[in-house]
Chains A and B, each alone.
Chain A
Amino acid sequence: QKEVEQDPGPLSVPEGAIVSLNCTYSNSAFQYFMWYRQYSRKGPELLMYTYSSGNKEDGRFTAQVDKSSKYISLFIRDSQPSDSATYLCATSGAIQGAQKLVFGQGTRLTINP
């Protein structure tokens, strides 16, 4: 079983729609959860992080973690064409130190004007 699974899409939605992006993970040792955004031919850019079950909101973005079902979600409200990118979920076993990140496949998202 893959450590982090993410539907690669592609996902295409109209501007203004609510977008839901999801990942599942298999290892209970993962304690720290992140969403990265990656534009074409660029490095991943950290969007949000959380280390507990529940919701965390930042502007139009909400990250949700359900540790009981090992499920991670990112919601984008009022989506904009500039949100078009690949979204990567990532997990880590600890908050501090030289901890590696384990990434999902990434979901390619297109917001159509």
Chain B
Amino acid sequence: EPEVTQTPSHQVTQMGQEVILRCVPISNHLYFYWYRQILGQKVEFLVSFYNNEISEKSEIFDDQFSVERPDGSNFTLKIRSTKLEDSAMYFCASSVGGPFYGYTFGSGTRLTVV
């Protein structure tokens, strides 16, 4: 069964450093998302991406965050200057056509900012 692949599975970074989280969505999917889950809290929407541009972003997705689909297969989330409160599990998801078709989530990248 097709999977959404995320790398790395765990990243530790120092506060203020830039990190790039990588995702390979399912190949025929058109919609791409990043969500995050702070330990013990809800899964929260960050950003959706369609047709090479951001469709919607949440209040969390401020100027420190950016997304890219650089080569038609990878989908990346960059955090420019990490803060302690960015420590969370980051999930990439993709969908062929939106909620009706189901979202497939990756296994996540655990980001720890120290």
**A interface residues (Cβ-Cβ under 8 A, vs B):** 32, 34, 41-46, 49, 51, 88, 92, 94-106
Chain B: interface secondary structure? strand
Find out whether the CB atom of A44 lies under 8 angstroms from the CB atom of B102.
Answer: no
* Chain B contact residues, CB within 8 Å of chain A: 4, 31, 33, 35, 41-45, 48-50, 55-56, 58, 91, 93, 97-100, 102-108, 110
Given A41-B108, A42-B108, A94-B98, A100 and B56 touching (CB < 8 A)? yes
Task: Report yes or no: A101 in contact with B103, Cβ–Cβ below 8 A.
Answer: yes
- Across chains A and B, the number of contacting residue pairs, with CB separation under 8 Å, is 73
- Which residue from chain A places its CB closest to the CB of B110 in the assembled complex? A41
Residues of A contacting B33 in the complex (Cβ-Cβ under 8 angstroms): 98, 100
Q: CA of A42 to CA of B48 in the docked complex: distance in angstroms?
A: 20
Q: Which of A45, A46, A96, A100 meets B45, CB within 8 Å? A: A100
- A100: chain B residues at CB < 8 Å are 33, 45, 48, 56, 58
A44 touches B100 (CB 8 A): no
A98 and B100 within 8 A (CB)? no
Does B31 lie within 8 Å of A98, measured CB to CB?
A: yes
- Of the residues B4, B41, B42, B48, contact of A43 by C-beta under 8 Å: B4
- Verify B91–A43 contact, CB threshold 8 A: yes
Majority-rule SS of A interface residues:
loop
Smallest CB–CB gap between A29 and chain B, Å? 13
Check A95 against B98 for contact (C-beta < 8 Å): yes
Contacts of A96 in B (CB 8 A): 97-100
- Does the CB pair B105–A99 fall under 8 Å? no
Q: Is the CB of B107 within 8 A of A34?
A: no
| CB–CB A43/B106 < 8 A | yes
Q: Considering the chains assembled together, what is the distance between the CA atoms of A98 and B55 in angstroms?
A: 7
Min CB distance B67 to A, Å, is 12
Q: A43-B91, A96-B100 are in contact. List 12 more A-B contacts (CB 8 A).
A: A43-B105, A44-B105, A46-B103, A49-B99, A94-B98, A98-B31, A98-B48, A98-B55, A98-B98, A100-B33, A100-B58, A101-B43
Q: Is B99 in contact with A94, judged by CB distance below 8 angstroms?
A: yes
- Cβ B103 vs Cβ A32 within 8 A: no
